[in-house]
Amino acid sequence: MSTLFATYSEVIIAVSIGLICSFSLGVVFDKLILRRLANIARKTKFAGDDILVEELEGRSMPFFVLTGLYVALLTVGLDEPLEAIIRKVFIVLMVFFLTLLIARIISRMVR
């Protein structure tokens, strides 16, 4: 069995590699980069940067995982209608997560 251009095993391998790599990048971002940004933010007088870093901690993983899944699926060579659906779903999910993140940041800054 195969899709128009890729076999199911190719899709599974690509998705697995994409998820592992994106999850690893997400962990590195959370553990290294955000910790350094948190240390820098604590030294400033502006509270907004502290709020931004706090809201990103633990909530950045969906961005990395979705992006890794998206890139993996698009590199496999699926047929064009399926790729169009994947693009649209990716955009909807990213807009959803960004909207939630921005809403949380703004609501904390207003308090």
Q: What is the pTM of this model?
A: 0.78
* Cα 93-52-104 angle, rounded to 5 deg: 55
Q: Is 50 exceeded by the pLDDT of residue 36?
A: yes
How many other CB atoms sit within 10 Å of the CB of residue 40? Answer: 11
Of 99, 102, 28, residue with least CA distance to 61: 28
Q: What letter represents residue 26's amino acid?
A: G
Q: What is the share, in percent, of the chain residues with pLDDT greater than 90?
A: 49
What is the tens place of the pLDDT at every residue in 38-86? 999 999 988 888 898 988 887 888 899 999 999 988 888 888 898 899 9
| Residue 33 pLDDT level (bands cut at 50, 70, 90) | very high
Q: Which phi and psi (to 5°) does residue 2 adopt?
A: -155, 155
Q: What letter represents residue 44's amino acid?
A: T
* Burial of residue 21, with CB atoms counted within 10 A of its CB: 0-12 exposed, 13-18 middle, 19 or more buried: middle
The per-residue pLDDT of the chain, averaged, comes to 88
* Cα 91-96-98 angle, rounded to 5 deg: 95
The reported pLDDT for the residue numbered 8 is: 81
